[in-house]
Amino acid sequence: MSAKKKILIIDDEHDVLAYFEAVFQDSGYDTVVARDGLEGFESAKSVKPDLIALDITMPGQSGIKTYYQFKKHPALKEIPIIIITATDESYKNLLNELNGISTPEVFFSKPIDPEELLKVVADILCDNNKEKII
């Protein structure tokens, strides 16, 4: 029997964390939550999630800096990251300007349709699983 896929959710808003945690758990995923970029980065190093859902605007360390850390870390750089944020689309330009860093798998603006989110997550995790088998 295959192990459940693990999703790390990084967001500073308690209600948002609880919502996405419920959406993912109700669909059969294991979840880990972090309330800021620093906590998320440390959690990712210890739990090695299959996917990361990352907010951009957070106090302390921004999601952009956290994204950059993930993509520069040898053990974490291959983990797919989806951006879920309430900011306007200007953050996409910032991420595109990070030299030598791949862009996120997908961007979602809050509020988000949970069915669309789950479809994209399933597609990403399925594609990653196929790559590992080949």
Q: Could you state, in chain order, the average pLDDT of each consecutive group of 10 residues for the chain (134 residues)?
A: 85 94 96 95 96 91 89 94 78 61 79 93 77 32
Range of the domain at 58: 6-133
28 lies in a domain?
Answer: yes
The tally of domains found in the chain comes to: 1
pTM: 0.86
CATH of the domain at 64: 3.40.50.2300
Helical H segments across the chain, by residue range = 14-26, 37-47, 63-72, 90-96, 114-133
1 lies in a domain?
Answer: no
128 lies in a domain?
Answer: yes
**Nearest-angstrom CA–CA distance, 104 and 84:** 11
